[in-house]
Structures are given as C-alpha cells and as structure tokens.
Amino acid sequence: MITFMNNSDSEEEPCNERTSLMSAGSPPVPSYQDGLQASEAGEVQAHRKRRAGSSRGPNNTAGGEMSGSGVPVRESAPENEEEELTLKYGAKHVIMLFVPVTLCMIVVVATIKSVRFYTEKNGQLIYTPFSEDTPSVGQRLLNSVLNTIIMISVIIVMTVFLVLLYKYRCYKFIHGWLILSSLMLLFLFTYIYLGEVLKTYNVAMDYPTLFLVIWNFGAVGMICIHWKGPLQLQQAYLIMISALMALVFIKYLPEWSAWVILGAISIYDLMAVLCPKGPLRMLVETAQERNEPIFPALIYSSAMMWTVGMAKPDTAARGPSQQTWDAAEDGREHHRSPSHADSQMSETRGPVPTRPVTSLEELEEEERGVKLGLGDFIFYSVLVGKAAATASGDWNTTLACFVAILIGLCLTLLLLAVFKKALPALPISITFGLIFYFSTDNLVRPFMDTLASHQLYI
Amino acid sequence: VGAAVFFGCAAIAFGPAAALVLLTVAAEPLRVIVLVAGAFFWLLSLLGASLLWALSVQLSGREDAALLLPGAAAAVLLQELCRFACFKLLKKADEGLAMLSEDGRSPISLRQMAYVSGLSFGIISGVFSVLNILVDSAGPGTVGIHGDSPYYFITSAFLTMALVLLHTFWGVIFFDACERRRAGGLGLVVGGHLLVSGLTFLNPWYEASLGPILILTLCTGLWAFGTAGGSFHNVLKCLSCKR
C-alpha cells in the first residue's frame, strides 16, 4: 500500500497539517540496534515535520536540528504558500514515483519478451491449487475464482497474524522473517533469473564466476536493504527485487486466476486500508497507541537526502501475509527490509548532510521524499507483464496498461493531496489497467491491425 | 528485415518527438504529468472509436474493410472530442494551480500545456500506429511479397513523423481557438485531421498521400507558430541571440 500514509494520528494534529503526497508522517523508526534514544527527538521533529508537511522522519540529529529550525518559519508561511509548496512538490514527487515504477515495468516487460522461461507453464503455486486446464469456460472461471479466494484468504490470515505479532511485540520474529525472505529473494531468485538469462542468450558462465557474481550481488543487496547504503543503490535493489517477485507471479499464476487475483487484491487493499476494522488500519492504530513507528515495511523511498525510516503500515501488514504464500512471496518480506534500511540509513545520514543549507526551500526540498510500498510495484509490474506475455504479441496492449497505471498512480497521489491520509495505491491503477487491458486486447487490437494492414492512419 | 530498418524507421518516426520530449518536457515534472494525461485521453478516444467500429461490424455484418472509412472518420472526431475534454481539464488544472500558487500565476501556462498535450497525442498516436510495424520490421520477412509496395516501412515512418508533428501543432492551435472561442480554428483543426486521415486512404499511391501530408504538416506548423506568438521577427531575434 501506499507510503503516503499519513496515519490516523493526523486527527491529533492541527488542522493545517499538510501531510500531502509526502511520505507518511509516522514517527521515525528506531533502529533495533540503537534503541529508542533517537526516537524522542525524532518524534518531536516528526510531529513538527508532519505539521509542516514534510514527510521524512528525522532520525538523525543533524537533520533534526535543521528541520527544527526550518519548521517554524514554514509554519508561519501563508496557507496558500504551503499549499503551493505542497502541490509543487507534488508534481516532482509524482515523477519521483513514475521513474521507479516505469523502470520496474521495463525490466519485467523486457524479461518477459526475451526470456522464454517466464512465459512457460511449469506448475502452479500451492496457493492456487485449481488448475485451469479444463475445456469448459464455466469450470475455468470457477477454478480461477476459487484460486483467488484461497489466495486472498491466505493474505488475510497472514495479515491478521502479523497484526497479532505486532500487538504482542514479537519484533524479533518479524525481523528474522524479513531477513530470511530477503535472503531467499536476493540469492535464490537472482540465481534462477541469471541462469535463465544466460540460457536465453547462450552465454556460458563457469560456476566460480557465477558464485562470485551472485554472492556480491546478494551480499551488497542485503546490506543496502537491511542496513546502510547509498540511496540510489538501495532504490535499484528494491526495483530489482520487485521485478523478480513480479516475474515469479507472472510465471506461476495461471492466466485467468492472475486477472481475478489482481482485481481481488485491489479490493482487499481498499478495504484493508480504509475500513475501520481493516487489519492494516488496526496496525496503524496500534502503532499510534504505542507511539512508536509501525515496524519497518518494504517501502521504496525516494527521499532525496534523508530517507525516512518510516514504517508503512499497509505494506508492513501486507508484506508478511503475502510472504507466506510461498517461497516466491518472500519478496514481499523484502518490503520489510528497506524500511529497516531506511531507519538505519537515516541514522547514518545524520552526520552526512552537513552541507550548508542556505534557504528554507532548499531544506524542504532535501527533506521531502515519497514512498511507495513494494507490493504496489509488484502488482503493477504483474499487470503489465501479464499484458506483455499474453496479449498475442501486441505491444499496444502493454503500452496502454502502462499509461493506465501511471494515470492511476497520478490520481491516487492527487487524492492523497486532497484527503491527507493513508490511501491504497492499488485500486485506481489496477482498475484502469484491467479495463485498458481487456478493451485494448479485444477491441482496439483488431481495429488498429485492420488499419495498419491498409496503411491507414487515424 | 533487419535491425538497420528498425532503427532507421524508429529514428525517422520518433526522432523529432524524442528530441522535443528530451529538450522541453523531461526536465519539468508538471509537463511530464500533462504528457501522460494527454496520452490517457487519446487512449480513451481510441477505445471509444474501436468500440464503435466493433459494434458497427457486428451489427452490419459487412466485412471489416468496408467500414474503415466511417470508422476512421469516427476515430478522428472522437480524438478531437477528447482533445477538447483534455482542454477543459487542463484549463481547470491551470486555474487550480494559479489559485494555489503564491503569486497567482500557475507554474505552467496554458500554452505550454497545449503544446505538451498536443505532443502527447502525437506520440501516443504514432506509437499505436507504428510500434507493431516497427517490431515486425526487426524480424525476418520480405516487404511487399504479395505485390504491395516495398516502401511500406519507410513511408510508415514518415507518415508517423508527420502525424506526431501535426498533432503537436493541432494541439497548440486547438487550445488557442478554444481559449479565444474561435470556431474557425476548431473547424480547421478538425478538417485538417480528417483530411490527413483521408489522404492516407490513398496509400500506396504515396505521391498523393505522403507528399500532401508533409506539405500540410509544414503549413500547419507555420500556422501554429503564428498562433503561439511567433513571427519572422522573433526568429531573427532568436538567431541573432539578442534578448
């Protein structure tokens, strides 16, 4: 779900709070190693930040001071200036999300179109036990609906399990789970992916080289995601693991089930985040009660200088639930890792951004960032990848789905600017994507093909 | 037919568009958003047109090709309708941005939005027309083996380039005409679009279709340049690097 989540503590904040498109204003994540000493200062800053509309949770003292000094002036700025700032940063942050989402989709589509492995049918996940090989349409539809029900129930069970774990403070368990799943994703799935790519291009690679490459890739990935690393490297790793997860889903979900699951999961996302009894919302509220950040989830952070080590409750909640699907789903647990990395990275970034910040605007620019849950990346890429895989060799369908998803993301961000609370990122984009997929594949394709065969232009 | 044809035709078809995007749109986030929004509106129009065409094919029972002329005309009209819808939305967005900004002016002007939305219409229209053809051109095959013209790829590339530029110019002219409530401009844009689409029906007689279309592109470009406030004087000033 979306990172813009401005958690429900916004009710306590003054009403001129701008939590806008920026990342969640939840209190900063204390790193598990460093204890909570930073969190006090961080929380104060975070509250002030939230009031000023900045999204980052200053986990570093240096940043905190600067933001502290920066905030009061900003608050005294006229209302419309804040609004203008919000919107102006809004456009920039929309682009800051467009770029990684586009990159992830490009990786997935490029792989789908070139590596045959990911479009071959080689069995199914155990969470979609019903096969779609039946001749009758009704039976196939029924099977896909049953598959979806099973999948979504697994997700719900895991989310509730996660909420319970969080309620009873089993942080070590969650932390360990996350590390395990990111290990599996960074090593095993990368190994499989590399193997298939090498097979496709008929490139020979000896085992020592392979071991070296995979080891370095995986180790640096674990460090970047769970600990500290350059922001762009962390972003690149998050994009890569989202792409890997999406590829696994595209391979192992049968066709009709995939579409029904996409639809169902956007409805689930909507309900889990917005309904008062939704597991994700409960997670947020629990975290609020305890006045601690929702434990780190897999979030893509595009913060320019300081990464916000905020937990994104939605992704957090969804992460583990989906992770338990199967090995492939461990990618979702990766969702957790970045947030850990975020918090720790922010700690280390404290001393780093000591370059003089001359103007407030500059400070604000450097502070703000947006975050998007990795689950959203994954499902966007699944939709576009499925379109690329199954749309009868047509590129127009893929492109139409891509534009639809970007527009959905844009609209979601706009709604976020209006409502200033946690919003699910999936429903609008997936709805548009599904509509465009089916209509382009069935209506537009014959029309454009007929036009092209006569070399007619409209 | 080979990578050379693929890259060559892709460069011909999308070179100007890519240059325009890289130089004028890519740096500004608001313009990128307008670009994507314009593409979305064009896709909506295409959806509507394909739906109409599919329905008419089903209902009339005639073969597909016979209904292409009215189908293409409907597509053109729907595109212009969606351009109008895009204008309305962008105008509202412009007002909203102006209201929110500190000095009462929005960070992007309506003219810039006209240009970007025209460009986006052009790019998405060109991509949808020619991408599958380009991908086919990278693979094996012989062009025109059944007696069709062997110049299919290159003429398609030029037509696409012309269409991209035409959409950009039409966007500028259309928005300006809507802003000043001049029906003449609107009529000429719609008429020009219908004319261009109709001329493509003369393919593969390329002298009659491609030639006039390129001339039309040039004229529309000059007209759009004038509409956007340009003049010979401006060009001279720009070239002499005076301010």
Cα A92 from chain centre: 18
What is the chain B residue with the closest CA to A445?
A: B50
Report the run of H or E that residue A342 belongs to, with start and end. helix A337-349
Chain A contact set for B125 (CB, 8 A): 458
Summarised one tens digit per residue, pLDDT across range A245-296 is 999 999 999 889 999 999 999 999 999 888 888 888 887 778 778 877 555 4
Summarised one tens digit per residue, pLDDT across range B150-189 is 889 999 999 999 999 999 999 999 999 999 998 999 999 9
Any chain A CB within 8 A of the CB of B30?
Answer: yes
Cα A183 from chain centre: 18
| CA dihedral sign of residues A330, A430, B171, B215 | positive
d(CA A389, CA A381): 12
Q: Which residue has the higher pLDDT, A63 or B33?
A: B33
* pLDDT of B51 higher than 50: yes
Summarised one tens digit per residue, pLDDT across range A364-398 is 444 566 778 888 999 999 999 999 998 776 799 99
Chain B contact set for A443 (CB, 8 A): 47, 50-51, 54
Q: What is the per-residue DSSP string for A82-100?
A: HHHHHHHHHHHHHHHHHHH
d(CA B166, CA B153): 20
Per-residue pLDDT, averaged over A408-414, amounts to 92
Any chain A CB within 8 A of the CB of B206?
Answer: no
* pLDDT of A190 higher than 70: yes
Q: Are residues A59 and A38 in contact, defined by beta-carbon separation less than 8 angstroms?
A: yes
Catalytic residue among A9, A376, A394, A441: A376
Q: What is the per-residue DSSP string for A351-406?
A: TS--S---SHHHHHHHH---EEEHHHHHHHHHHHHHHHHHSTT-HHHHHHHHHHHH
Q: Which residue has the higher pLDDT, A340 or A450?
A: A450
- CA torsion angle for A171, A177, A180, A186 (degrees, to 10)? -100
* Six token digits for residue B136: 């086919």
| CA dihedral sign of residues B35, B38, B44, B45 | negative
**pLDDT for the residue A35:** 38
Task: Pick the range with the lowest mean pLDDT from A89-98, A99-108, B130-139, B173-182.
Answer: A89-98
d(CA B83, CA B185): 14
CB-nearest partner of B30 from A91, A440, A444: A91
DSSP state of B147: S
Residue B4 CB partners (closer than 8 Å, separation 6+): none
Task: Pick the range with the lowest mean pLDDT from A42-56, A155-169, A178-192.
Answer: A42-56
| CA dihedral sign of residues B80, B84, B87, B93 | negative
Chain B contact set for A440 (CB, 8 A): 43, 47
- Hey, are the CB atoms on B131 and A395 less than 8 Å from each other? yes
3-class state of residue A228 by DSSP: coil
Q: Which residue has the higher pLDDT, A16 or B184?
A: B184
CB-nearest partner of B68 from A81, A396, A450: A450
**pLDDT for the residue A318:** 42
What is the chain A residue with the closest CA to B148?
A: A454
Summarised one tens digit per residue, pLDDT across range A284-306 is 778 778 877 555 446 787 775 44
Burial (Cβ within 10 Å: 0-12, 13-18, ≥19) of residue B156: buried
Q: What is the mean pLDDT of chain B?
A: 91
CB-nearest partner of B102 from A81, A404, A449: A81
Closest alpha carbon to A22 in A311, A368, A353? A368
Summarised one tens digit per residue, pLDDT across range A110-133 is 999 999 899 888 888 888 888 888
Catalytic residue among A9, A269, A342, A441: A269
Chain B contact set for A452 (CB, 8 A): 129, 132-133
Domain range summary for chain A, segments of one domain joined by +:
89-303
**pLDDT for the residue A1:** 56
- Hey, are the CB atoms on A91 and B124 less than 8 Å from each other? no
- Residue A100's CB is within 10 A of a number of other CB atoms, namely 18
Cis peptide before B204 (omega within 30 of 0): yes
Summarised one tens digit per residue, pLDDT across range A147-182 is 999 999 998 998 888 888 888 888 888 888 888 888
d(CA A205, CA A209): 7
Percent of chain A whose pLDDT exceeds 70 = 65
Closest alpha carbon to A113 in A367, A394, A454? A394
What is the chain B residue with the closest CA to A80?
A: B100
**pLDDT for the residue A294:** 54
Summarised one tens digit per residue, pLDDT across range A332-367 is 433 333 333 333 333 333 333 344 434 444 444 445
d(CA B20, CA B2): 27
* pLDDT of B5 higher than 60: yes
Q: From the CA of A5, how many Å to the nearest CA of chain B?
A: 22
- Hey, are the CB atoms on B68 and A451 less than 8 Å from each other? yes
Length of chain B: 243
Any chain A CB within 8 A of the CB of B69?
Answer: no
Alpha helix positions (H), B180-242: 183-200, 206-227, 232-239
CB-nearest partner of B200 from A407, A410, A457: A457
Number of C-alpha atoms within 13 angstroms, CB side, residue A325?
Answer: 28
Q: From the CA of B233, how many Å to the nearest CA of chain A?
A: 35
Q: Please state, in angstroms and as integers, the Cα–Cα distance from residue A190 to each residue in A111, A196, A424, following that order.
A: 13, 10, 29
Q: What is the per-residue DSSP string for A281-328?
A: HHHHHHHHHHTSPPPP--EEE--SSSPP----HHHHHHHHHHHTT-GG
Find which of B36-45, B131-140, B144-153 is predicted with most confidence, using mean pLDDT: B36-45
Q: From the CA of A399, how many Å to the nearest CA of chain B?
A: 9
DSSP state of A29: P
d(CA A412, CA A313): 17
- Residue A404's CB is within 10 A of a number of other CB atoms, namely 27
**pLDDT for the residue B243:** 57
Q: From the CA of B225, how many Å to the nearest CA of chain A?
A: 24
- Hey, are the CB atoms on A457 and B129 less than 8 Å from each other? yes
d(CA B129, CA A363): 46
Summarised one tens digit per residue, pLDDT across range B80-120 is 999 999 999 999 999 888 888 777 778 888 999 999 999 99
d(CA B204, CA B155): 9
- Hey, are the CB atoms on B159 and A88 less than 8 Å from each other? no
Any chain A CB within 8 A of the CB of B138?
Answer: no
Q: What is the pTM assigned to this prediction? A: 0.79
**pLDDT for the residue B159:** 94
Active-site residue, A376 included:
yes
Angle, CA A368 vertex, CA A53 and CA A67 arms, to 5° = 70
Q: What is the per-residue DSSP string for A193-224?
A: HHHHHHHHHT----HHHHHHHHHHHHHHHHHH
Active-site residue, A34 included:
no
A63-95 burial, b if ≥16 CB within 10 A, otherwise e? Answer: bbebbbebbeebbebeeeebbbbbbbbbbbbbb
φ, ψ of residue A55 in degrees (nearest 5)? -100, -15
Chain B contact set for A456 (CB, 8 A): 68, 72, 197, 200-201, 203
Per-residue pLDDT, averaged over B191-211, amounts to 90
d(CA A298, CA A319): 7
Q: From the CA of A96, how many Å to the nearest CA of chain B?
A: 9
Q: What is the mean pLDDT of chain A?
A: 72
- Hey, are the CB atoms on A448 and B129 less than 8 Å from each other? yes
**pLDDT for the residue A321:** 36
* pLDDT of A80 higher than 80: no
d(CA B41, CA B38): 5
d(CA B43, CA A391): 17
Q: Are residues A300 and A315 in contact, defined by beta-carbon separation less than 8 angstroms?
A: no
Per-residue confidence band for B64, with pLDDT thresholds at 50, 70 and 90? low
Interface test with A, best of B36, B56, B130 (most A CBs within 10 A): B36
Q: Are residues A9 and A422 in contact, defined by beta-carbon separation less than 8 angstroms?
A: no
Q: Are residues B168 and B119 in contact, defined by beta-carbon separation less than 8 angstroms?
A: yes
Q: From the CA of A153, how many Å to the nearest CA of chain B?
A: 34
**pLDDT for the residue A356:** 44
* pLDDT of A6 higher than 50: no
Radius of gyration of chain B (CA): 19
What is the distance between the terminal CA atoms of chain B, rounded to a whole angstrom?
49
Q: How many CB pairs under 8 A join A and B?
A: 124
Q: Please state, in angstroms and as integers, the Cα–Cα distance from residue A248 to each residue in A111, A172, A332, A381, following that order.
A: 12, 28, 12, 11
